Structure 1
Amino acid sequence: MDKQWQFIGLDIADMIGVITLDHQPLNVLSDAVLEELDKVIDEIQASDVRAVVLRSASDKAFAAGADISQFPQLTKMSGIELVEKGKRIFDKLTEGKAPVICAIHGLTLGAGLELALACDIRIAEEQAKLGLPETGLGILPGYGGTQRLSRLVGPGKAKEIVLSGIWLSGREAYEAKLVERVVPVGQAFKEAHELAEKIASKGPLAVALAKVAIDEGLDLPLPEAQSLETRMFAKLIGTSDMAEGVQAFSEKRKPDFTGN
C-alpha cells in the first residue's frame, strides 16, 4: 500500500511501514502536519505491519521543530492544548505494537527531536544536528522532550542539552546515548530499513510483548518489573507462533510467523 497525504507519505510493503515526512523544506511540525501524522499512525496501527521506519524526504532536515509563528498568539490555555495535542500524538506512536525506528539526518531540533525521542530506536547520520533549543525562545520542550530525553541520557546530560540549547552531532548524540547507532551520511534510512526487516522476521506477538515489558518495566521497581516480564512471557506460551518458532528451530528453517 502506498498512500500520500499533503505532508506525509505512507508505504506499507512486506509488513514494514515507512512513514515519510515531506513538509519541505524543513519538515516544520505545523498543526496540519501533526494532524496528518495522527491519521498516519491510525493507519499503521490498523494494519498488519510488524515494524515501522520514520524518515524525512527533505535534504536538509529530519524535522526542524514546531511552527514558531503560532507562539505569539498563545494563551496559557491554548498553550496547554497545543502541547497536550502533540503529546497525545507522540504517545500514540510510542504505544503502538510495531516498533518504530527513526532514520535521522540533517536538522533534528525541538519538536523534531521530540518526535524522534518518541520512537523506539534512533539511527542518526554523523552530520545530523540534534538539539532542544526551546529555552532560547523563552519556553521549554513541551512534547515530552524533557521526560523522554532524561530517561535516555540521564538527568545531568538532559539538563546540559535542554538548559543550554546546544546542538549535538550524530556522533555526539550516540556518545550521549541519545541515539542507538551513528552511521555515515546517506545511510540512516538503509540501516533503519534493514533493522526493520530483522524485527519483522521475528514473532510479532513476542516483539510486541517484549516492547511492553521494556517500556513499562522502566517505571517499576525491579521486582515488579520482573513480574511484568513473567506475565508477558506467559502470554506467549501455547501460541501458534511459539510452536512455529520452536519447530522451525528444530528443523533448521526460517519460521513463518502469523501473529497468533
Structure 2
Amino acid sequence: MADTVRLDVEDDVATITIDRPDQLNALNVPTLESLGDALEEAEAADARALVLTGAGEKAFVAGADISHMAEMDPEEANEYAQLGHDVANAIEEFPAPAIAGINGYAFGGGMELALACDLRVASERAVLGQTEIDLGIVPGWGGTQRLPRLVGDETARRLIYFGERVDATDALEEGLVGEVVAHDELREHVSELADDLAAQPATALRAAKETINQSHETSLEAGLEFERRTWAGLFGSDDQREGMTAFLEDREPEFE
C-alpha cells in the first residue's frame, strides 16, 4: 500500500485511514488502489468489523483529486470511475459491517465511499455533499444509485442537482448519517461501536448484511425468498446453536 492509506487491525476490528490531510484526504489513483489493497488485507485478516475514516481534523475525504481529473478524456474518466466503483463495491460487499467515521468534509467521492458503508457516524463538525454538479459532472462512484436508496428520491435529487452541502445536524435529519457525536468523541465512539459489532455472531451478521444488501438489488418477492433461504441456512451453525442454547439456559452467549 502507498503511505497515503493506513490499515490497523486490532481485536477483530480493521481500521482504514485515508492519510493525505494536507490534501484533505482527496483520492487520487494511488490512494484508491491502496484503499482497495487495504480492504483485501482486512478481509484476509478475518476482520469482524471495518472502520473507514480520514486523517487530520478537517476531512473524512474531501472528494476525488480534481487536479488529476481536470484533463481526462472520456476513456480515462471511465477507467477512473471503474476504479472508484471497484473500491465502493468492495466496501459494500465487505464480509462484515463497515462504519464510516466522518470526521470532517465528505464531498463527492468521499461521500460516495461513506454511502457504501453500512453505518455512518458524523462528527458535529462534518459537512457532507454530492458536489460534482459544481464541476460540470455528476456523481460517478455510485452516488446516483446509493443516495436515493438511503434518503429517498426527492432528497437525493435536491442534493445532487444543487450540489448542496449539509452540516451534521441536517445530515442526521435527512437520514444521511445515523448518529452525530462531539468531534473529540468521534474516534472513541466509533471504536466502541465497532467493538460491539465484532462481538456479534460473525456468521449471522454476515448473513444479515448480505440479506439487507439484496433488498437493493431485486424485487420484494425475490428478496423475501433470499431472506428465507439465508435464515434457514443458519440453522446448524455454531452461532445458531450457541445463541439459542444460551437463551434457553438464561446466560450470555459465547460466540466464536
Report the TM-score, using the length of structure 2 for normalisation: 0.95
Q: Does 1:19 align with 2:10?
A: no
Give the corresponding residue for 2:179. 181
Which is further off, 20-29 or 220-229? Answer: 220-229
Q: Offset at 1:5? A: 4.5
Give me the whole-angstrom Cα distance separating, in 2, the residues matched to 1:55 and 1:82: 21
Q: Secondary structure at the match of 2:106?
A: strand
Aligned pair count reads 255
Give me the whole-angstrom Cα distance separating, in 1, the residues matched to 2:11 and 2:254: 13
Give the corresponding residue for 2:121. 123
Q: What is the percentage of aligned positions where both structures have the same residue?
A: 39
Task: Supply the AA of the counterpart residue of 1:241.
Answer: D
State how 1:147-186 maps to structure 2 within 5 Å: 147-186=145-184
Give the corresponding residue for 1:215. 213
Contact 1:217 1:228 in 2 (8 A): no
Contact 2:100 2:114 in 1 (8 A): yes
Contact 1:52 1:99 in 2 (8 A): yes
Q: Secondary structure at the match of 1:149?
A: helix
Q: Secondary structure at the match of 1:187?
A: helix
Q: Does 1:226 align with 2:227?
A: no
Give me the whole-angstrom Cα distance separating, in 2, the residues matched to 1:59 and 1:127: 9
Give me the whole-angstrom Cα distance separating, in 1, the residues matched to 2:213 and 2:87: 17
State how 1:1-260 maps to structure 2 within 5 Å: 5-25=2-22, 26-258=24-256
Q: Quick one: structure 1 residues 72 and 20, their matched pair in 2 at CA, closer, same or farther if it must change by over 3 Å? A: closer
Q: Secondary structure at the match of 2:101?
A: strand
Give me the whole-angstrom Cα distance separating, in 2, the residues matched to 1:252 and 1:197: 24
Alignment gaps of 5+ in structure 1? none
Q: Offset at 1:71? A: 2.1
C-alpha distance after superposition, 1:16-58 (max 9, x if no partner): 1111111122101111110110100000111221111112221
Q: Quick one: structure 1 residues 110 and 82, their matched pair in 2 at CA, closer, same or farther if it must change by over 3 Å? A: same
Give me the whole-angstrom Cα distance separating, in 2, the residues matched to 1:8 and 1:70: 18
Give me the whole-angstrom Cα distance separating, in 1, the residues matched to 2:70 and 2:55: 29
Task: Supply the AA of the counterpart residue of 2:109.
Answer: A
Give me the whole-angstrom Cα distance separating, in 1, the residues matched to 2:89 and 2:176: 18
Give me the whole-angstrom Cα distance separating, in 1, the residues matched to 2:82 and 2:207: 27
Which is further off, 81-90 or 249-258? Answer: 249-258
Q: Quick one: structure 1 residues 230 and 109, their matched pair in 2 at CA, closer, same or farther if it must change by over 3 Å? A: same
C-alpha distance after superposition, 1:178-211 (max 9, x if no partner): 1111122222222222121111111101000011
Contact 2:2 2:30 in 1 (8 A): no
Report the TM-score, using the length of structure 1 for normalisation: 0.94
Alignment gaps of 5+ in structure 2? none
Give me the whole-angstrom Cα distance separating, in 2, the residues matched to 1:87 and 1:241: 33
Contact 2:48 2:197 in 1 (8 A): yes
Q: Please, what is the CA RMSD of the aligned residues?
A: 1.4
Give me the whole-angstrom Cα distance separating, in 2, the residues matched to 1:57 and 1:149: 24
